[in-house]
């Protein structure tokens, strides 16, 4: 019985993952499967649905679900993080703070580790201001530690606010906390993000001289920045220094060098690095493969990108939606529409849920080939799934139907857009439909 139940739980979770970008069908399935005899949602399926609702800002439904999860005793730390991130992303600060009250209500311990975890979740989503505001509201309720200041620092560095980052750094030292390697790396990355490279190098040199010593992450940050500037001589010099210092390279640092040399079209160096990775026992990971695929697609070589993608799958690494989008876009740019459609089918067949970007790429491909009717069906499909309407030149799109003399399609799309809250786009379609009808009446009057 437990084996069957576990199978159903896993199957339900996988189905929700498949439709994580399609709110309406995901929620319908969630409700339907929850009513099946002998089935009950667990924390994993609830959290999957919470993520979908949070991303689409269905807060009323999300709050009701939070209460339901609490009553069933299935709340986890991940549940609270999901809710906190969703509320903070929407600037719903009161609701975000309400998550802490909910934790108390359900006897969930709210200590420094819990608060640090939630603040870190916000910072990683580039919500440093919101994380700081919540910290200020709660700072008298718990004892801070080094990690507290580290996650706040990370939040400010991610949004390139070095003034606030410096203030947090100074406060951290004033409170008697000594910044460790992780903290230094966060500041290092913040300086590089803000194009303050000379200050970043100075900090790096201070680390080497006074400690804490740079680790592979520290070197990777410096090397990646030089690679972005295509200063490969400097990047390689730091790579060699890293190895001499006793730091073992990993897939991330190799990927930086591969991208740098690839952008300069020095493919001999790229292949040399790939060979070195394998010899050193650091096989390419998902990011390495995606970097290689990006190199191929940027050079309008989608067939080579597909070969790399197949090798990626053979190595047991599943392509992401980003992988498929890069390849599909490249085929459409080279006007190989048949292969572009094949990538769309392959993505769906492998259970990779199309996101807004994937739909937009595919719809644009259809429009460019003059298949506006098929594109129209996909736009309707997106709206029916609760997704955002794609960013398109809707005047040009409507003009295709105008030339075909099909006002009913435009009327239908206008209504769909209106219901989804896209009033401006709805008016565009309505205006073109009205122009079409007037044109038809003028012809009949002759």
Each residue's pLDDT tens digit, 235-251: 999 999 999 999 999 99
350, 381 contact by CB (below 8 A): no
Does residue 116 fall inside a structural domain? no
Asked if residue 401 and residue 362 are part of one domain, the reply reads: yes
Range of the domain at 289: 284-353
Whole-number Å distance between alpha carbons of 368 and 361 = 11
What's the CA gap between 324 and 328, in Å, rounded? Answer: 6
Question: How is residue 326 written in tokens?
Answer: 């890069």
Same domain, 374 and 388: yes
Residues 24 and 76 occupy one common structural domain: yes
Exposed (0-12), middle (13-18) or buried (19+): which is 332, by Cβ within 10 Å?
buried
Domain boundary among 318, 353, 388: 353
Domain for residue 279, yes or no?
Answer: no
Based on the domain organization, do 325 and 366 belong to the same domain? no
**Do 207 and 137 reside in the same domain of the chain?**
yes
Both structure tokens of 6? 């576990």
pLDDT at position 5 is: 43
Whether residue 102 is found in the same domain as residue 134: no
* Whether 193 contacts 157, CB under 8 Å: yes
- Say if 259 falls within a structural domain: yes
- Residue 439 has a pLDDT of 64
Q: Looking at the domain assignment, is residue 136 inside a domain? A: yes
3-class DSSP state of 350 = coil
Quote the pLDDT of residue 158: 95
**Which pair of structure tokens corresponds to residue 51?**
């993520």
Residues 241 and 302 in one domain: no
The whole-number pLDDT of residue 314 equals 94
Are residues 45 and 74 in contact, defined by beta-carbon separation less than 8 angstroms?
no
What are 146's two structure tokens?
């080094």
Query: How far is Cα 317 from Cα 310, in angstroms, rounded to an integer?
Result: 10
Residue 396 resides in a domain = yes
Q: What does the alpha-carbon distance between residue 315 and residue 83 come to, in Å, rounded to a whole number?
A: 35
Encoding tokens for residue 342? 């094949």
Backbone angles phi, psi at 117, to 5 degrees: -60, -45
Does one domain contain both 101 and 158?
no
Residues 12 and 89 in one domain: yes
User: Could you give the number of structural domains in the chain?
Assistant: 5
Please name the residue that has the structure tokens 């994380």: 131
Per-residue model confidence as pLDDT tens digits over 120-171: 888 888 889 989 988 998 888 888 999 999 999 999 999 999 999 999 999 9
CATH at 26: 1.25.40.10
Would you list the DSSP string of 390-401? Answer: P---HHHHHHHH
Torsion on CA atoms 100, 106, 107, 113, rounded to nearest 10: -40
Among all chains, which residue has been given the structure tokens 């803000």? 194
| Residues 339 and 365 occupy one common structural domain | no
How far is it, in rounded angstroms, from Cα 374 to Cα 255? 39
What whole-number distance in Å separates Cα of residue 87 and Cα of residue 59?
A: 8
Region of residue 402 (left: phi > 0; alpha: psi -120 to 50; beta: else):
alpha
For the chain, 446 residues long, the average pLDDT of each consecutive 10-residue run is 47 68 84 85 91 89 91 90 86 80 82 87 88 88 92 96 96 95 97 96 96 97 97 97 95 96 94 92 93 95 96 94 96 95 93 89 88 85 82 72 67 76 76 72 50
- Is 120 in contact with 157 (CB distance < 8 Å)? no
Given 295, 326, 353, the domain boundary residue is: 353
CB within 8 Å of 32: residues ≥ 6 apart: none
Domain membership of residue 361 (yes or no) is yes
CA 220 vs. chain centroid, Å, equals 22
Q: Report cis status (omega within 30 of 0) of the bond before 323.
A: no
Residues 344 and 381 placed together within one structural domain of the fold: no
Q: Cα separation of 297 and 327, whole Å?
A: 6
In this structure, the dihedral spanned by the alpha carbons of residues 91, 95, 99 and 105, taken in order and rounded to 10 degrees, is 170
- Tell me which residue of 148, 81, 156, 80 sits closest to 121, measured CA to CA: 81
Question: What is the spatial distance between Cα 362 and Cα 274, in angstroms, rounded to a whole number?
Answer: 32
Within a domain: residue 323?
yes
Is the whole model's pTM more than 0.85, yes or no?
no
Does the residue 294 lie in any domain? yes
User: Do you know the residue count of the chain?
Assistant: 446
Verify that 193 and 221 share a domain, yes or no: no
The sign of the dihedral angle between the CA atoms of 392, 343, 263, 313 is positive
DSSP for residue 283: -
Determine the pLDDT at residue 2: 46
Tell me which of 195, 212, 229 is where a domain ends.
212
């Amino acid at each position: 019985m437990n084996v069957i139940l576990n199978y159903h739980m896993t199957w339900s979770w996988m189905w929700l993952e498949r439709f994580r970008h399609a709110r309406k069908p995901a929620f319908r399935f969630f409700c339907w499967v929850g009513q099946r005899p002998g089935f009950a949602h667990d924390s994993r399926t609830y959290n999957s649905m919470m993520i979908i609702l949070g991303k689409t800002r269905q807060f009323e439904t999300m709050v009701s679900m939070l209460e339901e999860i609490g009553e069933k005793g299935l709340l986890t730390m991940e549940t609270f993080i999901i809710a906190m991130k969703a509320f903070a992303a929407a600037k719903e600060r009161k609701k975000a703070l309400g998550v802490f009250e909910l934790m108390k209500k359900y006897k969930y311990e709210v200590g420094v580790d819990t608060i640090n975890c939630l603040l870190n979740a916000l910072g990683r989503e580039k919500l440093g201001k919101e994380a700081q505001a919540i910290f200020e509201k709660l700072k008298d309720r718990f004892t801070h530690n080094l990690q507290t200041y580290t996650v706040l620092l990370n939040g400010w560095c991610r949004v390139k606010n070095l003034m606030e980052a410096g203030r947090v750094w100074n406060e951290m030292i004033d409170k008697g906390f000594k910044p460790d390697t992780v903290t230094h790396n966060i500041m290092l990355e913040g300086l590089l993000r803000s194009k303050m490279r000379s200050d970043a190098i100075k900090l790096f040199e201070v680390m080497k001289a006074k400690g804490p010593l740079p680790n592979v992450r520290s070197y990777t940050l410096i090397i990646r920045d030089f690679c972005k500037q295509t200063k490969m001589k400097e990047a390689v010099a730091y790579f060699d220094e890293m190895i001499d210092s006793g730091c073992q390279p990993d897939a991330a640092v190799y990927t930086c060098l591969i991208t740098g040399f690839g952008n300069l079209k020095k493919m001999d160096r790229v292949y040399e690095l790939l060979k070195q990775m394998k010899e050193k026992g650091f096989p390419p990971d998902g990011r390495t493969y995606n970097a290689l695929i990006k190199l191929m697609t940027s050079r309008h070589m989608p067939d080579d990108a597909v070969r790399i993608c197949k090798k990626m799958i053979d190595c047991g690494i599943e392509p992401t939606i980003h992988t498929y989008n890069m390849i599909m876009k490249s085929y459409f740019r080279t006007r190989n529409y048949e292969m572009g459609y094949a990538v769309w089918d392959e993505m769906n067949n492998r259970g990779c849920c199309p996101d807004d970007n994937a739909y937009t790429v595919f719809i644009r491909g259809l429009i460019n080939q003059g298949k506006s009717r098929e594109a129209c069906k996909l736009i309707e499909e997106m709206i029916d799934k609760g997704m955002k309407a794609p960013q398109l030149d809707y005047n040009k799109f409507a003009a295709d139907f105008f030339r075909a003399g099909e006002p009913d399609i435009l009327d239908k799309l206008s209504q769909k857009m209106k219901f989804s809250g896209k009033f401006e786009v709805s008016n565009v379609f309505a205006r073109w439909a009205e122009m079409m009808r007037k044109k038809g009446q003028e012809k009949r009057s002759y």
